[in-house]
Amino acid sequence: MMKPDPPSTTSRASSPPRDRHPSLDSHWFGAVLCAISAAGFASLTILSKSAMAMGLSLVKILIIRFALAAILLWIYIAARRGRAVFPGWKITLTLLALGTFGYALQSSLFFTGLQRISASLTSLILYAYPVFVALLDWIFNRKVPTWRSWIAMVVAFAGVLLTVGPEELFSGEIGNDIVGAGAVLLGSAFYAAYLVAVARVSPRAGTLVSTAWVCAGACIGFMLVGDFLPALQGSFNMQSVGFATAMAVIGTIIPLGAIIAGMERVGPLVGSLIATLEPVFTVLLAMLLLGERLNLLQAAGGGLVLLAVILLNLPMRKSYSN
């Protein structure tokens, strides 16, 4: 009986490795997920304005948004066979803390600054967080930012500047409120720390489970920051419930889950820079849904942010083509 020939080493060497294209696809898929996250967060501007126009307070909107998102995710995860909602005390408490002290605290600092300085300056300061992400990723994960990353950060920041409206920065109408600017800058740092930390914790719990507990933590955070019982008082109708559900699904579950899953594939720095597409999507949604016009500077700003995203992802293509 003849023995089968051993696998040919020549054929192995001549055939391309199977993990190259899936790895490349995974990277670009992660980039697409981060872009979807930016679009989802951009929808919150439109949804929040509509919800507040119906008389819902900001604190009520935020509490209901995250509570409903966590509940919907828990129900979905529990309904799937073999998926545990509770990933263990250590991971659960970590995710709750990230939601409470990372996401919720960042949002509170952002809105505190927004009440004291212009919306344009608030957005600019907030979108400095990719720099904080790069520094934290360097310190804790030993990932030294490349020169392409630094250039992409500058290009993306310039794009955000043009998108949110540079005329306000030079019109002299912005107040010199150091407290407001400092609150937003601190919130930017907290958000960067949240992104770096959740990128390390989420693979151990899974994207959906991580998103659910982060939402629960954010809900707790807003309950602590706001006046909980008065915030929840008031009547609800089908329209307000509809907006709350849309904010929970479109503006919370999808973008939070997408950014967590995306960062698992591209890393926190690339993910945070792709997330700077959010003001671009906000302008586009306002143009499509509210009838606002896109001016030339905003179009140029959107182009610069897209250029930064392309610049970040080009090196990955080169590294997989060798």
pLDDT in tens, 210-233: 999 999 999 998 888 765 545 445
Residue 257 belongs to some domain of the structure: yes
Which residues constitute the domain of residue 264? Answer: 26-320
CA diameter of the chain: 91
Q: What is the DSSP letter of 166?
A: G
The conformation of residue 292, written as its DSSP 8-state character, comes to: P
Do the domain assignments include residue 208? yes
Convert the pLDDT of each residue in 25-53 to its tens digit: 687 888 899 999 999 888 877 777 676 67
Question: What's the structural domain count of the chain?
Answer: 1
Give residues with Cβ within 8 angstroms of 165, minimum separation 6. 120, 297, 298
Residue type present at position 219: C
- Does any domain span residue 20? no
Q: Which residue has the higher pLDDT, 49 or 266?
A: 266
Q: Report yes or no on 6 lying in a domain.
A: no
Asked if residue 252 belongs to a domain, the reply is yes
Query: H helices within the chain, ranges in order?
Result: 9-14, 20-53, 58-79, 89-97, 105-114, 119-126, 129-141, 147-164, 178-205, 207-225, 228-232, 238-248, 254-266, 268-274, 278-289, 296-320
Answer whether residue 1 is part of any domain.
no
| 16 within domain boundaries | no
Residue 19 falls inside a structural domain: no
Contact 126, 149 (CB under 8 A): no
